[in-house]
Structure 1
């Protein structure tokens, strides 16, 4: 299993960083009301903190794809059907949350460009507009539960880890969602479920060559600079 895509280091990074970044994201906006007018107002008063909050959250969301692959491969050994449907639904749900993050980003830019009141009016007027990704909301909700049943039946996480994984279905869905009690429970549950497995995956093999660290840093810096250049 250690030679399968996407590889031990990518899986470990997803299992460790994905949940932790999502937890940081929800905690950074815990003081603002959960609906979009308050989220936009919080950005107007604390743009740096709210930007960091939403950036950490979506970065963690994207990093979960190798974590999901890691779970699916392990569940597949004895529970292929649960692995298949759980993995497919959760990955579709991650795509939908990434789409929501793009809408969040545009809404925050409206605050900077047009002002808070105009941004709130624009979001309110377009909040229920149809988009194909809205059809994936069911995947966001049910995917984690299906995958959690698979991890329990396959004895990949155990009952505590599987219940903690299933708690991700309680994480609010949609655009400009703030932090409520269930947001913290869900993000913390994801950490309980995945971080210990990430540590085990990280230790299950030799360390990378010395040159891998500066190479990864250089590639990450180059990616950021190229992205900022448009």
Structure 2
């Protein structure tokens, strides 16, 4: 799990670091995301099309779950549809941004932040009907990505990434909301556990292979963005 306070401001690790990015280094964050995603670059109207909604200091670093559909009036009609694919409490996103498209259509960036590799491992905890619904949806997502790997790998090894991919699928394919998943992986975090760029790269290649994620089989993988912010002491100790 990410290193979190109960709520509000992070003290160390990925929560703390991503809050710093959004509130103090937003332009650098935007460029990192754009430079890593030709599909997003082809969608947005201009380079300043980002509107970060979370985690903002002035909103006590609020993080969104399913209520992200309330950020735009045109998205709220999908609230009942979401219930067909996911329980009432969806993933808690480390960051949310709205992006303006060339045709005036709004898109959504969903951020999952990590500071060390151990955070990647996770398994489903839901029980009863909620678990059955989640497993059904993730199996549908796995099939959409043309993955022949076992469902167990998706829900009991990399469940957090799986449920993030599920929301990427639901938003884009079921709700027709252009959405991108931004996997933010901090390099050499000195606030908690340090992970090198080489380690991150090797790990993602392994994870994508084990989950059967292949860009030649599914175009939606192009809406998964990986960025690797490198830290320095001056930034790390800055008060946010």
Higher RCO (C-alpha 8 Å, min separation 6): 1
Check whether TM > 0.5.
no
Please say which structure displays the higher CA radius of gyration. Answer: 1
More helix by share: 1
More strand by share: 2
TM-score interval (norm. to shorter): under 0.3
